[in-house]
């Protein structure tokens, strides 16, 4: 038996215990190892891979982990069973829960706001689209033509242009061509497009009504509605209202002047023989009657030879015959001559009120409407601004036009200049705020909107615009603050809709094309703000001076010249009241001869018949029967001749017959209406032309011709009744 040293036995014992200790120190795999096991030690790889790992379908419970650990078979340590049983059984390792990763915080990115666009389009670019349509029309390219038409409509809408008048005129001309060719449907479509591009263009409205009437004459409501809209647009638009009023006023003044000339002339022709009769008594008895008549005619011709104006000539004629007129004739002639003297003043005022073209008001009008031809107005207003002569409406309109056309920096500078002239204007603040929105300064815009709403609480635009700003901000706020922001949006929107119910149907532009002009509201400047800039003072003075030189030459223009005819006419009326004291001749009611107390002293002062008629018809048996019959025949011939002259005068001029028969008021009224209708018919083109045409010719001629014929027929009918003794 081999005896080993004690130290060797101890070493061998330690070697036998080493596998058991290693086996006892191995822990169960963790959840992390099950999912993604790391590399094992080389001496443990065979033991760890003996049992297949289960597949990980998600996070498991602790009980499942323990069950899995119990099912893993335990291997005996290397070195024999006796050694393994001698060692204490290893304790069951405690299962530690795997570390749980915290749930990731998902940060939802806020939506990126769509940029606010400001189209920068010039008049040349708009006209280029029109040229494209013309070329497509010339080559019968229907698709390109329709595309150009739709582009024009889109440009008008996006630029907030009220009218594209030159283009609408072009479409109306093409509609007329198609109408003459028989294509009424195409003509109506083009006319409707012209109206859509220029809703307040009277020419387009009148043309549309005409095409409606040609296509559907049995539907009067359709074309009468378009016709009514045409007259309304003409009445509301100062660019077309001014010329129409100027033509109407000029025709009225012309008719008044012509009536005054006609009435005074007729009264003079009717009574001049009695004036010449009394003139004979002023001369020596040796002067024959024919000589006095010739001398009187020469004296009456002096106003013509001396170059006197129209009013002095009429006053001279009236002064000659006023003692022989009735009270009614004197009053009517005085009123007409007084009005004729005021004609220069009336014409000057009419010119001042209707002046529009070439004035700063027209520039503001063009800039406010934002259509074509506004670039020239923009240059003129800028020049006046540089000369420090631009007014508040001009600067406000200039800034608005530049803002709509994308010139935001220029618009901001001109809005600041306008606010320096007038601060606190609600419309200006709102427009200025829109420009700041386009420049990205939404905070500054919101402040201006608040100031505008305070300056004018009844204006809906500031509330609506600030609601749009709050709505855009709400998209970028955290969820906790969105509710409060949307509440502000709701409040501002409700305030705007309460002030303007039309906003209930308004929809903002889509986010993919968020145009500033369509997103924000810009209140229009009322006509009363800028219409006073239509300064026609210089033109009015020129018109007054021209008429005064024609009516009253040699008289200093001014109030004296205007009042002088009226004063003289009133004095002439007083002169006529001295008829009895002057022993002026009267008109014999039977034969028409002068009733003169100088020629027949036996006549009474109030006698209405001459001496012959008194002896023949009043004093029986004084005159032989033969002379009585001769006088009766003379009276009959005189009355027949007076009737024929009266009727002939009425045929030549309505109302003249009534003047000859002694109905001066009715005759003057007939003459005025007749001369007005006649002047309107002959001068149908008008004295002042509208920029793009006015009412069609037939709409001018038909009413005036009807008035002319009606007055003429009524006048002749009245004369006929006079001859029949019905009046």
Q: Which of 212, 200, 189, 198 is nearest to 169 (CA)?
A: 198
Q: How far, in Å, CA of 110 to CA of 122, rounded?
A: 37
Q: Which of 567, 612, 615, 576 is nearest to 594 (CA)?
A: 612
CA distances from 393 to 211, 418, 471 (A): 39, 8, 32
Please tell me the CATH superfamily of domain 360-533, with its number. Tetratricopeptide repeat domain (1.25.40.10)
Beta bridge partners of 595: 586
Q: How far, in Å, CA of 242 to CA of 353, rounded?
A: 8
Q: What is the dihedral of CA 125, 127, 130, 136, to 10 degrees?
A: -70
Q: How far, in Å, CA of 132 to CA of 148, rounded?
A: 7
Q: What is the pLDDT of residue 82?
A: 38
SS3 515: strand
Which residues have C-beta within 8 Å of that of residue 683, sequence separation ≥ 6? 251
- How many CB atoms within 10 Å of residue 633? 10
Q: Which of 418, 407, 474 is nearest to 448 (CA)?
A: 418
Fold agreement between 120-242 and 360-533: yes
Q: What is the pLDDT of residue 33?
A: 32
Q: Which two tokens stand for residue 472?
A: 């855009």
176-215 pLDDT, tens digit per residue, is 999 999 899 999 999 999 999 999 999 999 999 999 999 9
Q: How far, in Å, CA of 388 to CA of 132, rounded?
A: 41
Q: Which of 201, 213, 139 is nearest to 171 (CA)?
A: 201
Taking the CA atoms of the chain, what radius of gyration do you get in angstroms? 52
The residues of the chain scoring below 50 in pLDDT are 1-93, 726-727
- How many CB atoms within 10 Å of residue 709? 11
Domain boundaries, the chain: 6-86, 120-242, 243-352+541-584+653-724, 360-533
**pTM, full prediction:** 0.76
Q: What is the largest CA-CA distance in the chain?
A: 217
360-417 pLDDT, tens digit per residue, is 999 999 999 998 889 999 999 999 999 999 999 999 999 999 999 999 999 999 999 9
SS3 595: strand
Which residues have C-beta within 8 Å of that of residue 490, sequence separation ≥ 6? none
Beta bridge partners of 116: 514
What φ, ψ does residue 117 adopt, rounded to 5°? -95, 145
Q: Beta strand pairing status for 586-587 and 594-595?
A: antiparallel
Cα 149 from chain centre: 23
CA distances from 245 to 342, 548, 584, 674 (A): 19, 22, 47, 20
Q: How far, in Å, CA of 143 to CA of 157, rounded?
A: 21
In 405-478, where does DSSP find H-type helix?
A: 408-421, 426-439, 442-455, 461-474
Q: How far, in Å, CA of 438 to CA of 465, rounded?
A: 12
CA distances from 624 to 454, 589, 594, 615, 628 (A): 102, 22, 23, 10, 6
Q: What is the DSSP string of 635-650?
A: HHHHHHHHHHHHHHHH
Question: What sign does the CA torsion over 54, 58, 59, 64 have?
Answer: negative
Q: Are 659 and 220 in contact (CB under 8 A)?
A: no
Q: How far, in Å, CA of 564 to CA of 341, rounded?
A: 7
CATH code that applies to domain 120-242: 1.25.40.10
Q: Which two tokens stand for residue 571?
A: 């004095």
Tell me whether residue 244 is exposed, middle or buried, using C-beta atoms within 10 angstroms of its C-beta: 0 to 12, 13 to 18, 19 or more: buried
Q: Which two tokens stand for residue 270?
A: 């009717």
Q: How far, in Å, CA of 220 to CA of 208, rounded?
A: 13
């Amino acid at each position: 038996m081999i005896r080993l040293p004690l130290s060797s036995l101890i070493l061998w014992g330690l070697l036998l215990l080493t596998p058991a200790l290693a086996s006892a120190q191995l822990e169960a795999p963790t959840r992390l190892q099950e999912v993604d096991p790391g590399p094992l030690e080389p001496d443990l790889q065979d033991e760890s891979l003996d049992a297949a790992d289960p597949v990980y379908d998600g996070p498991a419970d602790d009980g499942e982990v323990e069950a899995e650990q119990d099912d893993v078979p335990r291997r005996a340590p290397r070195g024999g069973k006796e050694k393994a049983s001698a060692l204490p059984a290893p304790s069951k390792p405690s299962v530690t829960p795997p570390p749980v990763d915290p749930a990731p915080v998902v940060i939802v990115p806020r939506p990126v706001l769509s940029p606010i666009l400001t189209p920068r389009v010039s008049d040349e670019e708009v006209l280029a689209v029109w040229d494209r349509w013309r070329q497509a029309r010339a080559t019968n390219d229907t698709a390109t033509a329709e595309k150009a038409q739709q582009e024009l409509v889109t440009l008008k809408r996006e630029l907030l242009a009220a009218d594209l008048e030159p283009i609408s005129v072009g479409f109306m001309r093409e509609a007329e061509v198609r109408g003459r060719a028989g294509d009424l449907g195409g003509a109506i479509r083009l006319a409707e497009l012209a109206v859509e591009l220029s809703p307040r263009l009277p020419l387009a409205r009148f043309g549309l009504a005409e095409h409606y009437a040609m296509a559907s004459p049995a539907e009067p409501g359709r074309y009468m509605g378009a016709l009514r809209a045409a007259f309304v647009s003409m009445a509301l638009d100062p660019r077309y209202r001014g010329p129409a009023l100027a033509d109407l006023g000029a025709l009225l003044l012309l008719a008044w002047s012509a009536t005054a000339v006609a009435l005074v002339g007729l009264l003079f022709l009717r009574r001049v023989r009695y004036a010449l009769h009394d003139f004979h008594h002023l001369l020596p008895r040796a002067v024959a009657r024919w000589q006095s008549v010739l001398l009187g005619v020469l004296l009456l011709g002096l106003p013509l030879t001396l170059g006197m104006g129209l009013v002095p000539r009429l006053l001279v004629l009236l002064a000659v015959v006023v003692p022989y007129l009735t009270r009614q004739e004197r009053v009517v002639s005085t009123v007409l001559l007084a009005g004729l003297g005021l004609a220069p003043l009336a014409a000057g005022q009419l010119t001042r009120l209707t002046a529009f073209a070439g004035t700063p008001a027209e520039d503001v009008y063009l800039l406010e409407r934002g259509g074509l031809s506004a670039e020239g107005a923009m240059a003129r207003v800028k020049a006046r601004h540089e000369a420090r002569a631009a007014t508040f409406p001009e600067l406000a309109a200039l800034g608005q036009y530049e803002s709509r056309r994308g010139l935001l920096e220029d618009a901001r500078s001109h809005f600041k200049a306008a606010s320096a002239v007038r601060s606190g204007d609600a419309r200006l603040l709102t427009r200025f705020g829109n420009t700041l929105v386009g420049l990205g300064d939404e905070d500054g815009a919101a402040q201006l909107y608040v100031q505008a709403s305070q300056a004018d609480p009844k204006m809906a635009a500031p509330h609506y615009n600030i609601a749009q700003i709050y709505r855009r901000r709400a998209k970028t706020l955290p969820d906790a603050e969105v509710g409060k922001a949307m509440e502000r949006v709701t409040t501002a929107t409700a305030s705007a809709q309460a002030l303007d119910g039309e906003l209930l149907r308004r929809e903002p532009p889509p986010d993919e094309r968020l145009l500033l002009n369509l997103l924000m509201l810009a209140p229009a400047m009322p006509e009363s703000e800028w219409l006073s800039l239509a300064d026609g003072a210089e033109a009015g003075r020129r018109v007054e001076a021209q008429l005064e030189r024609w009516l009253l030459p040699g008289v200093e223009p001014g109030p004296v010249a205007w009042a002088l005819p009226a004063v003289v006419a009133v004095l002439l009326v007083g002169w006529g009241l001295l008829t009895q004291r002057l022993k002026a001749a009267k008109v014999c009611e039977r034969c028409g001869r002068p009733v003169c107390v100088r020629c027949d002293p036996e006549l009474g002062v109030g006698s209405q018949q001459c001496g012959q008629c008194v002896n023949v018809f009043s004093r029986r048996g004084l005159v032989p029967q033969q002379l009585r019959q001769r006088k009766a025949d003379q009276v009959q011939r005189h009355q027949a001749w007076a009737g024929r002259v009266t009727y002939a005068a009425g045929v030549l001029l309505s109302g003249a017959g009534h003047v000859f028969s002694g109905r001066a008021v009715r005759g003057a009224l007939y003459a005025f209406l007749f001369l007005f209708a006649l002047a309107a018919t002959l001068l149908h083109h008008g004295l002042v032309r509208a920029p793009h045409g006015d009412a069609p010719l037939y709409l001018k001629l038909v009413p005036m011709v009807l008035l002319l014929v009606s007055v003429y027929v009524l006048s002749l009918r009245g004369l006929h009744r006079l001859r029949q003794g019905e009046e």
